[in-house]
Amino acid sequence: MIALDQGILNRMVKRKIIKIDEEKCNGCARCIPNCPEGALQIIDGKARLISDLFCDGLGACIGHCPEGAIEIEERETEPYNEARVMENIIKAGPNTIKAHLKHLKEHGEEEYYNQAVSILKEKKIKVPEVDHQHGHSGGCPGAKVIDFSKSSGLRQWPIQLRLISSLASYFRGADVILAADCVAYALGDFHKDYLKGKSLAIACPKLDDDKEIYIEKITSLVDDAKINTLTVMIMQVPCCSGLLQIAKAAAAAGKRKIPIKAIVVSLKGDILSEEWV
């Protein structure tokens, strides 16, 4: 079993996110391909974080900055606030404003887009026209909602718990499946019987030692995305039970309380147990 001490739970008030030193940034764009969420763009000769909504804080962009202009900082966790984001976006100028609005459109964030437009109008700032298309070449396809096929129950990407944005639109008020990595391979009817109509996150507690980020993500799903239910699907092997323990601890630390269902799958793909916990 995985020990989850109170210290980990207490640190859930922090969120990791990148910070850019504009004086050091020379606009080389080496960081851009390494941000699969598309949260970084080069605008007016500088790297800009155009949406901290989709910055996962893993820092994949840092090692590719020759000037050392990018670092990770921890901020107090709070629900995403478009008004506060727009304060910094407006300061960065009209090109960054346009990029931010386009980013929201391409990710289906209509509510935040409308809030941003209202803020611009209130401040008597011209609202730029935004042309957008899903699947553009700026790196964002890794974070937008995707309907792969009629036979697939998967309705979003990414799905790794470390990479998801708990504030993405497809998690708001959703019934969420949190599945161990192996479940979908063992359970032949996973898409049809369990995934259809639900949002998904997958994880493996045995292969990833950083359990803190799992707890942070799940707690944010409960409190910020206000998910409806959480179904944790694990394999019968002992190491898999750690995922259920993490989910229960994270949910208990949240301000909201939600129903949690635990489903245990055998190595042969049979359902061994299914119960609310």
Residue 4 lies in a domain: no
Indicate whether 57 pLDDT > 50.
yes
Question: Range with the lowest mean pLDDT among 6-20, 111-125, 136-150?
Answer: 136-150
Which residue is it, tokens 């800009």? 48
CB under 8 Å to 84, separation ≥6 — which residues?
none
Strands 260-265 and 271-276: antiparallel
Q: What is the DSSP letter of 5?
A: -
Q: Tell me, yes or no, whether 151 and 258 share the same domain.
A: yes
Phi, psi for residue 10 in degrees, rounded to 5: -65, -30
Q: Tell me, yes or no, whether 202 and 255 share the same domain.
A: yes
Q: Tell me, yes or no, whether 188 and 266 share the same domain.
A: yes
Quick one: average pLDDT of 236-251?
A: 93
Q: Tell me, yes or no, whether 208 and 132 share the same domain.
A: no
Residue 10 lies in a domain: no
CB under 8 Å to 15, separation ≥6 — which residues?
57, 74, 75, 76, 77, 216
**Per-residue pLDDT, 32:** 82
| % of the chain surpassing 90 pLDDT | 37
Q: Tell me, yes or no, whether 243 and 269 share the same domain.
A: yes
Contact predicate 69/25, CB 8 Å: yes
Q: Tell me, yes or no, whether 88 and 36 share the same domain.
A: yes
| Degrees to nearest 5, angle at CA 98 with 164 and 129 | 120
- Choice between 260 and 35, residue whose per-residue pLDDT is larger: 260
At residue 151 the predicted structure's pLDDT band, cuts being 50, 70 and 90, is low
Domain extent, residue 180, equals 145-276
Domain boundary among 78, 105, 137: 137
Quick one: average pLDDT of 48-66?
A: 74
Which residue is it, tokens 């996962």? 56
**Per-residue pLDDT, 199:** 94
Indicate whether 143 pLDDT > 90.
no
3-state SS assignment for residue 225:
coil
Q: Tell me, yes or no, whether 130 and 175 share the same domain.
A: no
Strands 40-43 and 46-49: antiparallel
Count how many domains the chain has. 2
Q: Tell me, yes or no, whether 268 and 154 share the same domain.
A: yes
Q: Tell me, yes or no, whether 167 and 187 share the same domain.
A: yes
Quick one: average pLDDT of 119-142?
A: 70
Q: Which of 176, 189, 190, 271 is nearest to 232 (CA)?
A: 176
Q: Tell me, yes or no, whether 23 and 80 share the same domain.
A: yes
Residue 68 lies in a domain: yes
